[in-house]
Amino acid sequence: MIALIVAGAPVVQTPLWLDLLTVALAGVTGALMGVNLRFDIVGVTALAFLTGLGGGIIRDLLLGQVPVAIRGNDYVITAVAAAAVGFFFARWVRRFGWVLTWFDAASLGLFGVIGTSKAVANGISAAPAILVGIVTAVGGGALRDVFTGQPPEIFKPGQLRALAVLGGVLVYVGLDRLDVRLGVSTAVAMLVTFALRMGALQLGWTTPTAIDAPRVARRQALLHARRLGLLRRRQRDSDS
């Protein structure tokens, strides 16, 4: 992992092989969804492209740049290869689902940090830069779900994903403000995201759903009043 200087600020930059490996594994997960939905080869390939390249393309478009995925042949060829693997070897790939899970957790942190650092280097304020980082990490999966007619996974109750990325990029921004070295802040942020994501999967942590706050408060107030009334009644009985 190296740092580039963009607009006078350092930016996290992964080696090309690691970037392509992440695209490949994400693309395979998209292709597997297409196989599960019994899509043809065009549909499977499209989902591999959306999942593998979508987040980075959205990031670069938000920053007003030509997406890195279409500056050369590497990314497109990798996405095509991922689609082929998912299409022809789906049953075999599923046996190694744990590899995809672990690498997915690691890549969430990595690309959340990359998106955030690139946004900061282009003059974006901290809060929207964090949003760019989250979109970079989960955008491909969201596009995949939308194109298959499903609510995006990140919007449904379940194990931490977007929130895990949020935790990591918040740590990254905080350490960056403290002038911690880029390599250290990147590693710590990735570790936080990885720990949150794997902890959610192993321990069953889930995102909360909406609550009716006034109703809950009213119920708690009534319960408190009843308990207080019982206590006063018992006190009167004991006095008498």
Span 108-127, pLDDT tens digits: 888 888 889 888 888 889 99
The answer to whether residue 83 is domain-embedded is yes
Q: Are 95 and 160 contained in the same domain? A: yes
* In the predicted structure, residue 61 carries a pLDDT above the cut 60: yes
Q: Are 150 and 230 contained in the same domain? A: no
Confidence of residue 216 (pLDDT cuts 50, 70, 90): confident
Domain coverage including residue 234: 213-240
**What pTM does this model have?**
0.79
Are 196 and 225 in contact, with CB atoms under 8 Å apart?
Answer: no
The answer to whether residue 208 is domain-embedded is no
Helix (H, G, I), strand (E, B) or coil at 216: helix
The total number of structural domains in the chain stands at: 2
Q: Are 43 and 153 contained in the same domain? A: yes
Helix axes 41-62, 16-36, angle to 10 degrees: 140
Q: Are 96 and 186 contained in the same domain? A: yes
